[in-house]
Chain A
Amino acid sequence: MKRKGNRLSRKEWLIRLWLKQAIGNREEATGNKRGNFLFSAYCLLPIAYCLLAVVTVRGQEKDWEQQWNQTLAGARKEGAVVVVGSPDPVMRNEIIPKFKARFGVPVEFLAGRSSEIVARIRTERAAGIYSVDVFLSGPDTTATVLYPEKMLDPLRPLLVLPEVLEASKWKKGKPWFVDPEEKFILRPFISVSSLLFINTDFVKPEEIRAAKDLLNPKWKGKISTEDPTTTGAGANLAARFHYQLGANFVKKLYIEQRPVSTRERRQFTDWLARGTQPICLNCREDDVRPLEKEGFKLVEIFELTDLAPGINGSPWLMSVANRAPHPNAARLFVNWMASREGIELYSRGYGSASLRTDVDESFLNPGNIPRAGVRYFDDTDWSWVVTGRQENRDKVWKLLKSR
């Protein structure tokens, strides 16, 4: 971005200089041979500059095209790219067939819960086996296992596609690497996360304006949550409540209000639709959307007056395994995944707002798109994931065990 910024200002400076010289000197130099020569020279200067720019760009194009073609040829020779992540319908239904059709390289996707993935990779590596090329993993696994245990290679140098590198294609002015060294872990998504969902047949939106409204005795037993006593979205939200609203609020909400908890996301989505528990703390946008289409009056609440709205990097952060068995295929895959096509597939599949500027957002719930000037709580923020969340989660667990 800096390099690009400097080039632009140099161009501006040249144009200004040329205008000053040309116009100023023209007046002075009318009828003067030297002045005419200078004038012609000034006229030719931008043309020469343009030519130079074209040649340079062509050169760069040739350069990336060459790299890209080499990568593609290498990937085809390697025969596959091994990607690891959570069970993922977008990967299964969209990415695998599209990537194969486009590049002729099959995607071998290993799905599992993060704990299973971690167990597998650690054991493999202890035995000297390196089977994975690319990780599409959640922030916890990425920040607390993959990065600190040095399982990754820098991803930034692998990005070659102009549409991936071009500053104007990213809302942050560049691809966002979230790790402390800013080169290993790419975050392509930034969605406003819902705080809760309500079924308006049972709960009026004006009844839940603030987080403290959830403590109304009227809602006792009417709130569902993913089990906050174990790792997962339920505990993460409770940790956030603990951090932003304090221990007393958590105690009241999770103990006194007797929320109904489950580990099965389908269960609380169904409860929400049926109105058994018309307030859902951890329902997912991609689970609720089909029910909204069926006519259920379900509303996603993004903001509460006493709680800063949140953003997250769902569905995944992308990183490349070190000693990847298919380095070219991995490079091909990460470039394509970071491109408009790859990101848009996930954006549509999960209803997540991306960080790319060229991804169609018309299909998104406007509430999911972060607004300028609003201060958000970032649930995928590195230090929050590594320390803050864990500390608050531990405090929540201690509180809940004391009930």
Chain B
Amino acid sequence: MSSIAASVQAGIRLSRFRLAEFGALLFFTLVMGLPIIFLLLSSLNVAPPGKEAAFGLANWSRAFSDPGTLSALWMSFLLSVTHLVPGMILSVMMAWLIARTDMPGRNLIEFLCWFGYFVPDFPLVLAWILLLDPSFGFLNTVAAALPFVQGPLFNPYSFWGIVWVHLATGGVWFKVMLLTPIFRRLGAALEEAGRVAGASSLTVLWRISLPALLPAILAVAALSFIRGLESFNTELLLGTPVGIYVYATRIYDYTRHDPPAFGEATALGSVFLLVLAVLAFFYQRRLKGKKFTVVTGQGYSTLRARLGKWKYVALGGCLLYFAVMMALPLSFLLLGSLMRRYGFFNLRSPFSLIHWQNLLTDPLFFLSLKNSLVIAAATALASVALYSTVGYLLASRKVRSAPVLELLCWLPWVVPGILMSLGLLWMFLATPLRSVLYGSVWGIALALTIKESPVGTQAFKAAFLQLGADLEEAARVSGASWRYTYRRILVPLVAPVAATVGLISFGSALTSISTPVLLYSARSRPLAILLMEYSFSGEVERAAALGLLITAIVSVMMLLGRKVVLPLISRDEG
């Protein structure tokens, strides 16, 4: 009798599970699949705007017959791989040092990574130009005073200059943010076993920790690779002067054509879908049939590796990296916001508070600030709620439609921002909810939540993959419902990841421009759009001030988040 009851209960649980799977699939098909189908169909429509649709391949052939397209794709690939490899090595090392070792000041290093990620790109690239420009760059000027230096040492307008700036503007911070909570969840039992067997800390890292964290590391590498392919802001500022064009710049060019050529842009963007398919194939193949459970119900411990005297060397290395890659350009950025003209130290009285005054007295500023906070908070909460569920479904390995669901979750990053925004605009306007969604802060928050799906799902999936099934089983045997188990056991265990996803979503919602650009109205204008307006109209100093303010807001949120999350971590560790 009891076995019948148990099987009925299991059946109900499974049907609930299927219901959740179906719900997730439906939601993602609607919000991610439909905009992309719309874009692909539009790219095949060759009729002039306003005329009856006529389908053909003219847009595609025009886009791909451009002689610059292939070379730009190759350049994107080269750049992306070149900064991915050192970026991944540095990030893994740093995440390991923060999460798995007794390095002093690790919380500070983690905080600095978060801080670095949310400093806006555009003024930071300008800061690097001020530092590295061959004719007036600060570092070149200093180097020129040395007796053995002839000519400029650094040049940001080059392939290696772009790689360098990528490593400095989020190339490492982003990966550390995602990897640290995953490293934290790694049970120490395996590592301890390795150490007992006489392996050094580095051998343990190489032979035990890294293979155990492979899904997370591969997911972060894939995310970073796609982001690298899509990146164009840095390349636009540093590559264009020396004729380095990347694939994303080509897409961008088509979108800002007069009149815009979204058909051609979509055709080029489809290459990212292909890249994604290839990456997904290799990812699945690499992980097939393997288990990555590191948190089980038995003797879970997160004891840290002891580095001995090397811990100070590690801390010194991290701090040096931050000093060069972040503090240096950041000090120029801060200085820039306080200068009458960014980077012109030779003016009469070059410093002024005028840009801060202008920012704070801008009639649009406070409304934009309020909108941004609402949008960012809603995005963070929605991302955590939605992607923790999806991550759980994907990690459970019981989902029949897992490959489709996973692909749908990747789509928002595969499609260039402005095209995704266009697709979402179309979708919002096509639904009965358009009066609620279009032009409102809620519509923007939904769009940004969708945009963050790759980070959210991959982070949660990796975290849930680390949890052993015995935890759930133990709860079930003790009579806990699935909801209770999820809330009281699983969610607290993935709390650090949830906090990371929440904060990344919050910060990205504050800084994202391409997603809200077609969806905002004058009443829902967020700060990022105001930042775009300042940059576009040449008000770089005011943009720098606003960029710093956004970073400060995110920093406050981070501190608050850490106040909540750190006790959870230390409780785990205890």
- A interface residues (Cβ-Cβ under 8 A, vs B): 80, 82, 86-89, 92-93, 96-97, 107-116, 118-120, 122-124, 126-127, 129, 131, 138, 140-141, 144-145, 149-150, 227, 229-232, 260-267, 269-270, 273-274, 276, 284, 286-287, 290-291, 294-295, 401
Residues of B within 8 A of A290 (CB): 341
Q: Answer whether A113 and B363 are a contact pair too, CB < 8 Å, given A262-B237, A401-B67.
A: no
CA distance A108 to B434 in the complex (A): 20
How far apart are A394's CB and chain B's nearest CB, in angstroms? 12
- Chain B window 513-538, contacts with chain A (Cβ cutoff 8 Å), 1 for yes, 0 for no: 00001101111000001001110111
4 additional A-B pairs beyond A232-B256, A401-B67, beta carbons within 8 Å, are A86-B536, A108-B522, A127-B426, A231-B256
B50 interface residue, CB < 8 Å from A? yes
Q: Answer whether A118 and B259 are a contact pair too, CB < 8 Å, given A97-B363, A108-B522, A129-B438.
A: yes
B275 interface residue, CB < 8 Å from A? no
User: Would you list which residues of chain B between 202 and 245 have a CB under 8 Å from chain A?
Assistant: 236-237, 240-241
How far apart are B478's CB and chain A's nearest CB, in angstroms? 53
B522 touches A82 (CB 8 A): yes
Residues of A within 8 A of B529 (CB): 111
A127 touches B434 (CB 8 A): yes
B479 interface residue, CB < 8 Å from A? no
Residues of B within 8 A of A123 (CB): 422, 425-426, 429, 518
How far apart are B532's CB and chain A's nearest CB, in angstroms? 7
- B interface residues (Cβ-Cβ under 8 A, vs A): 49-50, 66-68, 126, 129, 133, 135-136, 236-237, 240-241, 253, 255-260, 262, 340-341, 343-344, 347-348, 362-364, 418, 422, 425-426, 429-430, 434, 438-439, 517-518, 520-523, 529, 532-534, 536-540
CA distance A56 to B135 in the complex (A): 70
CA distance A120 to B529 in the complex (A): 15
CA distance A89 to B255 in the complex (A): 24
Q: 10 closest A-B pairs (Cβ-Cβ)?
A: A108-B522, A127-B429, A115-B260, A87-B533, A87-B536, A140-B258, A115-B256, A230-B253, A231-B258, A260-B241
B435 (CB) vs chain A CBs: closest residue: A129
15 contacts between A and B (CB under 8 A): A86-B537, A92-B363, A92-B364, A111-B529, A115-B255, A118-B259, A122-B49, A141-B259, A145-B258, A264-B236, A266-B126, A266-B538, A266-B540, A294-B340, A401-B66
Residues of A within 8 A of B362 (CB): 92-93
A119 touches B518 (CB 8 A): yes
The one of A126, A141, A287 that contacts B258, using a Cβ cutoff of 8 Å: A141
A231 touches B257 (CB 8 A): yes
How far apart are B239's CB and chain A's nearest CB, in angstroms? 10
A294 touches B537 (CB 8 A): no
B517 touches A261 (CB 8 A): no
B428 (CB) vs chain A CBs: closest residue: A127
How far apart are B256's CB and chain A's nearest CB, in angstroms? 4
A111 (CB) vs chain B CBs: closest residue: B533
Residues of B within 8 A of A110 (CB): 520-522
B241 touches A262 (CB 8 A): yes
How far apart are B221's CB and chain A's nearest CB, in angstroms? 30
CA distance A141 to B259 in the complex (A): 7
CA distance A150 to B389 in the complex (A): 47
B517 touches A116 (CB 8 A): yes
CA distance A138 to B259 in the complex (A): 12
How far apart are B563's CB and chain A's nearest CB, in angstroms? 37
Q: Answer whether A230 and B256 are a contact pair too, CB < 8 Å, given A120-B518, A291-B341.
A: yes
Residues of A within 8 A of B237 (CB): 262, 264, 267
B258 touches A114 (CB 8 A): yes
The one of A111, A115, A150 that contacts B257, using a Cβ cutoff of 8 Å: A115
The one of B253, B344, B434, B522 that contacts A273, using a Cβ cutoff of 8 Å: B344
A274 touches B136 (CB 8 A): yes
CA distance A339 to B357 in the complex (A): 31
Residues of A within 8 A of B363 (CB): 92, 96-97
Residues of A within 8 A of B521 (CB): 108, 110, 131
A118 touches B236 (CB 8 A): no
B539 touches A119 (CB 8 A): no
The one of A87, A144, A263, A270 that contacts B537, using a Cβ cutoff of 8 Å: A87
Residues of B within 8 A of A287 (CB): 538
B422 touches A119 (CB 8 A): yes
CA distance A384 to B135 in the complex (A): 40
A145 touches B259 (CB 8 A): yes
B534 (CB) vs chain A CBs: closest residue: A87
CA distance A109 to B126 in the complex (A): 28
A144 touches B259 (CB 8 A): yes
B533 touches A92 (CB 8 A): yes
Residues of B within 8 A of A232 (CB): 256
How far apart are A336's CB and chain B's nearest CB, in angstroms? 18
B136 (CB) vs chain A CBs: closest residue: A274
CA distance A402 to B434 in the complex (A): 47
Residues of A within 8 A of B348 (CB): 294-295
Residues of A within 8 A of B236 (CB): 263-264
Residues of A within 8 A of B343 (CB): 270
CA distance A270 to B522 in the complex (A): 32
A276 touches B135 (CB 8 A): yes
B529 (CB) vs chain A CBs: closest residue: A111
A261 touches B241 (CB 8 A): yes
The one of B50, B255, B426, B522 that contacts A150, using a Cβ cutoff of 8 Å: B50
CA distance A86 to B347 in the complex (A): 30
B259 touches A116 (CB 8 A): no
Residues of A within 8 A of B136 (CB): 274, 276
Residues of B within 8 A of A269 (CB): 538
CA distance A266 to B133 in the complex (A): 15
How far apart are A147's CB and chain B's nearest CB, in angstroms? 12
The one of A80, A89, A127, A138 that contacts B430, using a Cβ cutoff of 8 Å: A127
How far apart are B226's CB and chain A's nearest CB, in angstroms? 23
How far apart are A338's CB and chain B's nearest CB, in angstroms? 22
Residues of B within 8 A of A122 (CB): 49
CA distance A138 to B66 in the complex (A): 27
Residues of A within 8 A of B537 (CB): 86-89
A267 (CB) vs chain B CBs: closest residue: B237
CA distance A40 to B521 in the complex (A): 69
CA distance A274 to B133 in the complex (A): 12
Residues of A within 8 A of B258 (CB): 114-115, 138, 140-141, 144-145, 231
B538 touches A262 (CB 8 A): no
Residues of A within 8 A of B429 (CB): 123-124, 126-127, 129
Residues of A within 8 A of B341 (CB): 290-291, 294
How far apart are B50's CB and chain A's nearest CB, in angstroms? 5
Residues of A within 8 A of B523 (CB): 108
B256 touches A113 (CB 8 A): yes
How far apart are B535's CB and chain A's nearest CB, in angstroms? 8
CA distance A144 to B434 in the complex (A): 29
Q: Answer whether A262 and B240 are a contact pair too, CB < 8 Å, given A111-B533, A115-B259.
A: yes
The one of A108, A119, A274 that contacts B260, using a Cβ cutoff of 8 Å: A119
B253 touches A89 (CB 8 A): no
Residues of B within 8 A of A124 (CB): 429
A140 (CB) vs chain B CBs: closest residue: B258
CA distance A363 to B236 in the complex (A): 35
A128 (CB) vs chain B CBs: closest residue: B429
Residue in A116, A141, A276 whose Cβ sees the most chain B Cβ within 10 Å? A116
How far apart are A256's CB and chain B's nearest CB, in angstroms? 14
Residues of A within 8 A of B539 (CB): 89
Q: Answer whether A113 and B364 are a contact pair too, CB < 8 Å, given A290-B341, A401-B67.
A: no
CA distance A82 to B434 in the complex (A): 19
Residue in A111, A129, A265, A291 whose Cβ sees the most chain B Cβ within 10 Å? A111
CA distance A126 to B51 in the complex (A): 11
CA distance A87 to B237 in the complex (A): 20
Q: Answer whether A263 and B240 are a contact pair too, CB < 8 Å, given A89-B537, A273-B344.
A: yes
A112 touches B517 (CB 8 A): yes
CA distance A287 to B537 in the complex (A): 9
B518 touches A118 (CB 8 A): no
A118 touches B260 (CB 8 A): yes
How far apart are A344's CB and chain B's nearest CB, in angstroms? 19
B520 (CB) vs chain A CBs: closest residue: A110
